[in-house]
């Protein structure tokens, strides 16, 4: 028989605090019509400090002045040591129900079960105030508030990582962040210490290829994949296990900015991704992703088709293990308070629920330590799980007590086990009562600081990735390597990195070397590479266009009204760019920049120089350009050939939508290359 445990209201399973309620309570703290001090005393004046006469010194006895300034002085908390720049949203995850064969985790296994989540997207290297569109890995961290406790899937938009063992993480980050003497560059890998490290530490090669690909510069968080990176071990109701990799597949497809576009955007709108996420949710144009899993047998050597599943620098090509969709995520609510929610959310790889277990991937094992530890200094003590954004929606009865910022008034005198003074409770839950049981796997071996032999292959999957990309993406990668290495001061680092590239692909190395004005070294690239077409972004597919932005150069008159109305029904955001502001005008010639738009329609004649620049950039970035009325004169002023691919004369909404669905006018790209190239 289960003992009856008298539990305070906040611990009562029947009264578990849904996030909605807990947030409402927090908001409720600010009540009443009158301004008060932190102690609730009404205040008559918050603009003038208490002084000895109007010209006199301020008085120490001014409790309001001191309290107001003291609180302000402590408003900031330390930014995350990595992933400091980010933004997030709430969403709903709905399970398709087909994962029950591999996991007993209710939120994945039960068809139609809805689970609230919070997702925080981030860049890795920059400070909190850095630009969104820099070339970097993007974090994709999801907290599922499941009925069985919180599950955190703390992933990235790239499926592999720079290092194979967590003990290297401080080295990686010290090399990748700014130089410690001058704290430059901000949010960039284009500098000596990064390339010094990765050229010496060749297990980073595969990941560097992803970072230098278009994945490093996503169009928005809506258009990027997410990956759990590590292999996880799932357990079903019969205690059968499978090795699994998690994938988030964006419904809108994977799309990137152009490299020049990212640089312009960083100045024009450093909040580009953050703004798109928040504005889209406000407009009801929700971001959507499917959660998918690759399922591999849990065999004793933890390999699949010769790929070591414990090596986080390796993928399993989707052609070998298809990604099976198991649920859908819709991000549908903006946070109310950035600090309380987005900044204070604390993810942890160890937040797992029954049905999901970890593997011995040495990178994952180290992460199991780091995430809890970092919150102690970032959030000021061990009680961060009580913050509304971190509180589980499942009942909590943990016997943890006291500590900094304790906000629960615990009752009772026996927060220990075993006890007889609290009716013996709370009682441990066996598996039959939903208790978390680690998969009993044998552990054997000598204590060594060593890697499995298979971890020594640093190049074959970098080559696999490169050869899976479309030629345009490959060109982008050549440009990225050339740009970044050009930014190094030390020639020796460039030379060394070229010798790393030579072990991946001779053609790529030759092109990068030519760009750097250096000889191409010879290497030993893999002889036979089987590409994985699923890795290419540029394909024949057409993607949903909800959330895409079209700029209409003209006045908000009837000329483009029909076009605008039809596009809006498809979720396209249309902004009129007029010579001056006014009713229906969202941008003027002075304020609009090309990077804000996925396509442009020119519906008036103008030789305004800012419009000229806008169109030249849109053309160069291979965006569709529609022309109406005497708009051709505007294109002529910008030197744009109206017969070029993707210049659409009098486009109807369908034509424009089709162009947007391709993301860019890829056929124009060859025309954009300098003649000598």
The CB-of-125 to ligand HDD minimum distance in angstroms stands at 12
Shortest distance (Å) from residue 121 CB to ligand HDD: 8
| Dihedrals phi, psi of 193, to nearest 5 degrees | -65, -35
Nearest distance in Å: CB 162, ligand HDD: 8
Distance CA 228, CA 155 (A): 5
Closest CA to 277 of 87, 444, 66, 43: 87
* CA–CA separation, 55 and 53 (whole Å): 5
Is residue 83 part of the annotated active site? The answer reads yes
C-alpha 280: how far from chain center: 16
3-state secondary structure (DSSP) of residue 587: strand
Are the C-beta atoms of 359 and 230 separated by less than 8 Å?
Answer: yes
Residue 630 DSSP code: T
Q: Judge whether 627 and 647 are in contact, CB under 8 Å.
A: yes
Q: Is 449 annotated as a binding residue?
A: no
Secondary structure (DSSP) of 51-115:
BSSTTSPBPTT-HHHHHHHHHHHT---PPPSSS-SEEEEEEEEEE-STTTTT---HHHHSTT-EE
CB 363, min distance to ligand HDD, A: 5
Catalytic residue among 10, 64, 150, 156: 156
Q: By C-alpha distance, which of 483, 512, 516 is closest to 188?
A: 483
The answer to whether the annotation marks 575 as part of a ligand binding site is: no
- For residue 337, what are its two tokens? 């308070």
Q: How far apart are CA 290 and CA 250, in angstroms?
A: 6
**Least separation in angstroms between CB 137 and ligand HDD:** 8
Q: How far is the CB of 606 from ligand HDD (least distance, A)?
A: 44
Tokens representing residue 107 in the block: 């939120």
Tell how strand 624-627 and strand 647-649 pair up: parallel
Task: Give contact residues for ligand HDD (rule: CB under 6 A).
Answer: 80-83, 86, 120, 122, 139, 141, 154-156, 161, 166, 169, 229, 312, 345-347, 363, 366-367, 370-371, 374
Select 7 or 351, whichever has its Cβ closest to ligand HDD.
351
In terms of CB distance, is 118 or 272 closer to ligand HDD?
118
In the numeric block, the tokens 């978390």 are attached to: 436
| CA neighbours closer than 13 Å in the CB half-sphere of residue 262 | 21
- What is the spatial distance between Cα 359 and Cα 357, in angstroms, rounded to a whole number? 7
Rounded Cα distance between 54 and 57, Å, is: 9
Contacts of 366 (CB under 8 A, 6+ apart): 165, 166, 167, 169
Q: Is 494 annotated as a binding residue?
A: no
Closer residue to ligand HDD (CB): 89 or 100: 89
**Closest approach of Cβ 207 to ligand HDD, in Å?**
9
- Do the annotations mark residue 169 as ligand-binding? yes
Q: Which residues contact 533 (CB under 8 A, 6 or more apart)?
A: 319, 468, 539
* Closer residue to ligand HDD in complex, CB, 345/512: 345
User: Which uninterrupted H or E stretch holds 512?
Assistant: helix 506-516
**Token duo for residue 677:** 């190239």
Q: Say which residues have a Cβ less than 8 Å from residue 30's Cβ, sequence separation at least 6.
A: none
Select 120 or 664, whichever has its Cβ closest to ligand HDD.
120
Beta carbon nearer to ligand HDD, 373 or 650: 373
Q: Are 187 and 131 in contact (CB under 8 A)?
A: yes
45 in Cβ contact with 419 (< 8 Å): no
- Determine if residue 367 is labeled as part of a ligand binding site: yes
Do residues 574 and 653 make contact, with C-beta atoms less than 8 angstroms apart? no
Nearest to 530 by CA among 245, 318, 322, 247: 318
Q: Considering beta carbons, is residue 229 or 603 the nearer one to ligand HDD?
A: 229
Residue nearest to ligand HDD (CB): 139
In the bound complex, what is the minimum distance in angstroms from residue 313's beta carbon to ligand HDD?
10
Least separation in angstroms between residue 360's CB and ligand HDD is: 14
DSSP notation for 429-472: P-GGGT--------------S---GGGG--SHHHHHHHHHS-HH
Say whether 144 counts as a known binding-site residue.
no
Q: How far apart are CA 251 and CA 272, in angstroms?
A: 20
In the block, residue with structure tokens 């902004």: 575
Query: Is 64 tagged catalytic?
Result: no
Please, which residue, 122 or 220, has the CB nearer to ligand HDD? 122
Residue among 154 and 464 whose Cβ is closer to ligand HDD = 154
Contacts of 499 (CB under 8 A, 6+ apart): 199, 521, 523
Q: How far is the CB of 458 from ligand HDD (least distance, A)?
A: 17
Query: One of 10, 83, 207, 230 is an active-site residue; which one?
Result: 83
Q: In terms of CB distance, is 22 or 142 closer to ligand HDD?
A: 142
> Residues comprising the binding site?
80, 120, 169, 367, 371, 378
What are the residue numbers of the active site?
83, 156
Binding residues for heme: 80, 120, 169, 367, 371, 378
């Amino acid at each position: 028989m289960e003992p009856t445990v008298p539990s305070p209201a906040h611990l009562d399973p029947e009264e578990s605090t849904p996030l909605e309620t807990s947030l409402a309570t927090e908001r409720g703290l600010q009540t009443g019509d009158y301004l008060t001090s932190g102690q609730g005393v009404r205040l008559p004046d918050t603009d003038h400090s208490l002084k000895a006469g109007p010209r006199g010194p301020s008085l120490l006895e001014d409790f309001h002045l001191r309290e107001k300034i003291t609180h302000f002085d402590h408003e900031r908390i330390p930014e995350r040591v990595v992933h400091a720049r980010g933004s997030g949203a709430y969403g709903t995850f709905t399970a398709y129900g087909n994962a029950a064969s591999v996991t007993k985790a209710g939120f994945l296994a039960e068809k139609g079960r809805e689970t609230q989540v919070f997702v925080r997207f981030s860049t890795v290297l920059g400070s909190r105030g850095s630009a969104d569109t820099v070339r970097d890995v993007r974090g994709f961290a999801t907290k599922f508030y499941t009925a069985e406790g919180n599950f955190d899937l703390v992933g990235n938009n790239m499926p592999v990582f720079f290092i194979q063992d967590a003990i290297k993480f401080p080295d990686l980050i010290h090399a990748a962040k700014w130089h410690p003497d001058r704290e430059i560059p901000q949010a960039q890998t284009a500098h000596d210490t990064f390339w010094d490290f990765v050229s010496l530490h060749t297990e980073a090669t595969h990941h560097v290829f992803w970072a230098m690909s278009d994945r490093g510069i996503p169009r928005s968080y809506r258009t990027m994949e997410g990956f759990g990176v590590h292999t996880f071990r799932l357990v079903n109701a019969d205690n059968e296990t499978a090795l699994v990799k998690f994938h988030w597949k964006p419904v809108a497809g994977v799309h990137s900015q152009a490299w020049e576009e990212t640089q312009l955007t960083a100045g024009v709108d450093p909040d580009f991704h953050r703004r798109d996420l928040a504005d889209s949710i406000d407009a009801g144009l929700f971001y959507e992703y499917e959660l998918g899993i690759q399922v591999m047998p849990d065999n004793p050597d933890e390999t699949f088709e010769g790929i070591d599943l414990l090596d986080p620098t390796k993928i399993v090509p989707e052609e070998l293990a298809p990604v099976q969709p198991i649920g859908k995520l819709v991000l549908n609510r903006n946070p109310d308070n950035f600090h309380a929610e987005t900044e204070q959310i604390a993810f942890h790889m160890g937040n797992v629920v029954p049905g999901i277990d970890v593997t011995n991937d040495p990178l994952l094992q180290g992460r199991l330590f780091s995430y809890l530890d970092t919150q102690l200094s970032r959030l000021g003590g061990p009680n961060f799980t009580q913050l509304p954004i971190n509180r589980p929606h499942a009942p909590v009865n943990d016997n943890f007590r006291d500590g900094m910022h304790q906000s629960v008034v615990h009752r009772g005198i026996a927060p220990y086990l075993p006890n007889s003074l609290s009716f013996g409770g709370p009682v441990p839950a066996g598996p039959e009562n939903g208790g978390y049981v680690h998969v009993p796997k044998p552990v054997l071996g000598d204590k060594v600081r060593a890697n499995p032999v298979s971890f020594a292959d640093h190049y074959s999957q970098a080559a696999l990735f490169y050869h899976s990309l479309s030629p345009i993406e490959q060109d982008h990668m050549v440009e990225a390597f050339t740009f970044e290495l050009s930014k190094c001061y030390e020639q020796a680092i460039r030379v060394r990195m070229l010798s790393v590239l030579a072990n991946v692909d001779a053609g790529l190395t030759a092109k990068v070397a030519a760009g750097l004005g250096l000889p191409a070294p010879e290497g030993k690239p893999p002889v036979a590479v089987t590409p994985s077409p699923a890795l290419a972004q540029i394909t024949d597919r057409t993607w949903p266009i909800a959330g895409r932005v079209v700029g209409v150069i003209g006045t908000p008159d009837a000329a483009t009204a029909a076009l605008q109305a039809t596009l809006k029904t498809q979720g396209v955001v249309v902004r009129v760019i007029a010579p001056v502001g006014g009713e229906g005008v969202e941008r003027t010639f002075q304020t609009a920049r090309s990077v804000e738009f996925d396509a442009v329609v020119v519906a008036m004649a103008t030789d305004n120089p800012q419009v000229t620049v806008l169109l030249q950039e849109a053309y160069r970035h291979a965006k569709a350009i529609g022309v109406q009325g005497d708009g051709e004169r505007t294109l002529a002023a910008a030197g744009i050939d109206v017969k070029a691919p993707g210049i659409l004369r009098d486009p109807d909404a369908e034509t424009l939508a089709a162009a947007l669905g391709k993301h860019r006018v890829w056929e124009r790209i060859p025309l954009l290359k300098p003649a000598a190239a």
